[in-house]
Amino acid sequence: MTSTLTDTVPVEEPLARLERDLIANYVARAGEDLHDLRTRTDGVARNLMAAASRYASARLTEIEARFRYLHSLHGHA
């Protein structure tokens, strides 16, 4: 059996799922549904998505910094 493009799993950044979950959680805490928000084009929706993205980015940066710190404590490069 030969492999086709539909048989392959797309490559994803290691923290992509966590980023999506952080954004969804941020949006939910604001009382919105992520799917509905993505279909809207108004300024409120754009601003909330931008804020959610900034929040997720900051959290991921914090997680990566903690990871590096723990590795340095344990003598890993």
Q: What is the pLDDT of residue 12?
A: 73
Over 70: is that where the pLDDT of 51 sits?
yes
Is residue 6 domain-resident?
no
22 assigned to some structural domain? yes
Written in H, E and C, the secondary structure of the chain is CCCCHHHCCCCCCCCHHHHHHHHHHHHHHCCCCHHHHHHCCCHHHHHHHHHHHHHHHHHHHHHHHHHHHHHHHCCCC
Taking the complete model, does pTM exceed 0.85, yes or no? no
pLDDT band at residue 75 under the 50/70/90 scheme: confident
Structure tokens at 55: 């929040």
Range of the domain at 44: 15-73
Q: What is the pLDDT of residue 74?
A: 84
Averaged pLDDT for residues 20-46: 96
* pLDDT, average across residues 15-32: 95
Whether 9 has a pLDDT exceeding 70, the answer reads: no
Task: Please give the Cα distance from 77 to 72 (Å, whole number).
Answer: 7
Domains of the chain: total: 1
